[in-house]
Amino acid sequence: MWLELVDNLIIIASLLTPLALLTLGATMLLTRYRSEKLVHVLLSSTFLGSLILVLGAGFGLFMSGESSRLIDLGPLIQLGSYHLELVLLVDPLSIIMLTLNFILCGVVGYFSSKYLHRDEGYYRFFMMMLFLATGVELAVIAAGFDVMFIGWELLGISSALLVAFFYRRQAPTQNAFWTYGIYRLTDIGLLSAIIALHHATDDVLMSNLGLLGSSSLVVGALFIFGAMGKGGLFPFTGWLPRAMEGPTSSSAIFYGALSVHMSPFLLLRLSPLIEAHKELQIAIAALGVLTLLHASMVGRVQTDAKSTMAYASAAQIGIMWVWVALGWYELTIIHMVGHAIARSWQILRAPSFIQERRILERMQGARVNHDRHVERFMPAKLERFLYHIALQRWFTDDFLLVVVHTLKKGVLWINSADTQLFQALTGSDKPATSTEEESSVEIQAKKSTSKA
């Protein structure tokens, strides 16, 4: 009886946000009707309603005595013998994450409805927020990695679009592109892992992780790579401060609260796989410690409020990875929830930095010592070197750029070699005006414009 209640409540709860999304989307696309009040009402009712339903479901799960519950909603895709099932997993972790999702989205949404009043992107912001909420929702109640991946992608796109919120300036769009680039790069790992899983076990349910045989180590490594992007693990931490281009409240909800925590969440879902391999545990712990060191050191030299908070966030995610590696899952969950609340609250108050500092100083009766702390004890030359490295963020972004450019050069070389081979084989003429350095891309472009 309880389990039926859980099923129904979860299904309704998970439908509310997509419904709100479709309503708002349809209003924006098909009509000229714009009302801030409508958005406000729609969002508060959706999030509040979902929250109540989720709490009810949690209660139901608790009363039933079960530790988890699978809800099979039938096939998502069916093509001949190939089918993917839409299965939902309700367990304490998903209930907690859903609760966190709806509480924080609700509170930050309420905040944003006043904060973004009269901004030209008001409706666009809330569309993105609904995409976020849907994405998180799907990702946390998915029993299979396919549905999780859908949520994961929704999260990625809405993140990037919110970084580019002030698209009329160049910097936000460039930084959004960078953020999205990192996401896609690590998604290669995630997608490869899912495909490998399906290949090995004929399905993508999370419970299938135990069925992986010899390929489990590789699959695990790929999954870990996939989790590195969203969490800002080293060497991908550079996108977190860049993502502060969006409005304060979006920075709070995404990079303080929800989006970054998808990273340790994914690891928690991978726990059977991780437990099976010492190598994976070591890798995760190493990455976590490396991230902690990197983010702490670089965070200490940041001179603006939001960047400081971004790096603090990354450092904590690193620590959560270490907890997962050690197998301390309950601590990870407590840390995730606490951190999500504390950090989003801190970022929402980022503009108050100066005011809060002055209050602090009056409390102490003295200025805050912002000078070097432990660094004072280093020899001057070492301190200067480390400071410079920290300010350059350990050149992580720069090295990534170099890697990307090298790859691009390689691809273009392959392309031009291929074109030359083709032309040699088919005997077509090279254009007379081309120089050796013109890439084949440019040659193609010239050809097509001259035809047009």
Nearest by Cα to 321 from 278, 273, 265, 277: 265
277 lies in the binding site for another protein (CB under 8 A): no
Q: Can you tell me which of 3, 84, 337, 443 binds another protein, judged by CB under 8 A?
A: 337
Q: How far is the CB of 167 from another protein (least distance, A)?
A: 12
451 lies in the binding site for another protein (CB under 8 A): no
Q: Can you tell me which of 135, 235, 246, 288 binds another protein, judged by CB under 8 A?
A: 246
Q: Are 298 and 311 in contact (CB under 8 A)?
A: yes
Handedness of CA 9, 14, 17, 23 (dihedral sign): negative
Angle at which helices 380-391 and 278-300 cross, to 10°: 100
Q: Can you tell me which of 102, 142, 343, 440 binds another protein, judged by CB under 8 A?
A: 343
Q: How far is the CB of 422 from another protein (least distance, A)?
A: 22
Q: Can you tell me which of 103, 138, 139, 228 binds another protein, judged by CB under 8 A?
A: 103
Q: Can you tell me which of 296, 415, 416, 419 binds another protein, judged by CB under 8 A?
A: 296
304 lies in the binding site for another protein (CB under 8 A): yes
Binders of another protein among 151-180, rule CB under 8 A?
166, 169-172, 175
Q: Can you tell me which of 25, 49, 181, 247 binds another protein, judged by CB under 8 A?
A: 247
246: DSSP letter:
S
330 lies in the binding site for another protein (CB under 8 A): no
Q: Work out the number of other CB atoms within 10 angstroms of the CB of residue 267.
A: 25
Tokens of 137: 């929702």
Q: Can you tell me which of 316, 321, 325, 440 binds another protein, judged by CB under 8 A?
A: 316
Q: In terms of CB distance, is 186 or 307 closer to another protein?
A: 307
35-42 contacts at long range (C-beta below 8 A, 24 or more positions apart): 36/113, 36/117, 36/122, 39/113, 39/122, 39/123, 39/126, 40/110, 40/113
107 lies in the binding site for another protein (CB under 8 A): yes
Burial 364-390 (b: 16+ CB within 10 A, else e): eeeeeeeeeeeeeeeeeeeeeeebeeb
Q: Label each residue of 382-396 as H, E or C.
A: HHHHHHHHHHCHHHH
184 lies in the binding site for another protein (CB under 8 A): no
Candidates 83-91, 202-210, 217-225, 247-255; binding stretch for another protein (CB under 8 A):
247-255
Q: Can you tell me which of 34, 83, 199, 372 binds another protein, judged by CB under 8 A?
A: 372
413 lies in the binding site for another protein (CB under 8 A): no
- H helical segments located in 327-395: 329-348, 353-364, 380-391
Nearest by Cα to 50 from 58, 40, 61: 58
Q: How far apart are CA 296 and CA 310, in angstroms?
A: 11
306 lies in the binding site for another protein (CB under 8 A): yes
144 lies in the binding site for another protein (CB under 8 A): no
Candidates 19-27, 73-81, 138-146, 372-380; binding stretch for another protein (CB under 8 A):
372-380
Binders of another protein among 40-99, rule CB under 8 A?
none
Q: How far apart are CA 291 and CA 323, in angstroms?
A: 13
Q: In terms of CB distance, is 63 or 407 closer to another protein?
A: 407
Q: How far apart are CA 205 and CA 143, in angstroms?
A: 6
348 lies in the binding site for another protein (CB under 8 A): yes
Candidates 10-18, 69-77, 106-114, 220-228; binding stretch for another protein (CB under 8 A):
106-114
Q: Can you tell me which of 345, 415, 416, 419 binds another protein, judged by CB under 8 A?
A: 345
Residue 283 carries which side chain, given as an amino acid letter? A
Q: In terms of CB distance, is 429 or 437 closer to another protein?
A: 437
295 lies in the binding site for another protein (CB under 8 A): yes
326 lies in the binding site for another protein (CB under 8 A): no
Q: In terms of CB distance, is 164 or 206 closer to another protein?
A: 164
- Angle subtended at Cα 52 by Cα 49 and Cα 56, rounded to the nearest 5 degrees: 140
Angle at which helices 216-231 and 170-201 cross, to 10°: 160
- The residue count for binding another protein (CB under 8 A) is 103
Q: Which residues pair with 85 in a beta bridge?
A: 75
Q: Can you tell me which of 204, 244, 266, 324 binds another protein, judged by CB under 8 A?
A: 244
Q: Can you tell me which of 200, 387, 419, 423 binds another protein, judged by CB under 8 A?
A: 387
Q: Can you tell me which of 307, 324, 325, 440 binds another protein, judged by CB under 8 A?
A: 307
Nearest by Cα to 156 from 136, 127, 126, 173: 136
34 lies in the binding site for another protein (CB under 8 A): no
353 lies in the binding site for another protein (CB under 8 A): yes
